[in-house]
Amino acid sequence: MTLTADEIAHLEALPEAAHEVEAEVLCELEAGHPGPHLALGQGFQPDGEIWIRWTSAAGLRELTATLGQCDAERPAEEELCELPAHHPGRHSFDLEEGRGRTPTAQWQAQIEAALARIENDQPR
């Protein structure tokens, strides 16, 4: 589905938005799942997520606040499912691959600063 300019502006304006919003949104659930499609719209501080839910027929289309996190965890690897609670289909760690997201410039700077700190802390 394609976001409108208003929806993109809304997602970009969230506090400390975590990633760049792309107009073309792809469903993150297992192919062939029942119910509406679902994709992460934005992560923001403190601890919030906006999910996009839609159906291909002209019915449902909404941006919805955090739905609760799925608490499934891949054994041994401590990899958490990234989908909301009660999602249909398989967990995100069982799907082919997660969708890559581009962090916003603000987050990118924070990530780089954190990595630089780790490097400086290494004993020589």
Q: How far is CA 73 from CA 41, 100, 101, in A?
A: 22, 20, 21
Measured between its terminal Cα atoms, the distance across the chain in Å is 51
State how far the Cα of 95 lies from the Cα of 86, in Å rounded to an integer: 16
> How many residues contact Zn ion, by CB under 5 A?
8
Concatenated DSSP letters for 84-104?
BTT-SSS-GGGSS-PPP-PBP
User: Should residue 39 be labelled a site residue for Zn ion when binding is judged by CB under 5 A?
Assistant: no
- Considering the complex, what minimum distance in angstroms separates the CB of residue 83 from Zn ion? 5
Residue of 37, 44, 49, 54 that binds Zn ion (CB under 5 A)? 37
The mark string for 41-80 relative to Zn ion (x by CB under 5 A, - otherwise) is -----------------------------x-x--------
- Considering the complex, what minimum distance in angstroms separates the CB of residue 70 from Zn ion? 3
> Would you tell me which residues interact with Zn ion (CB under 5 A)?
27, 29, 37, 70, 72, 81, 83, 91
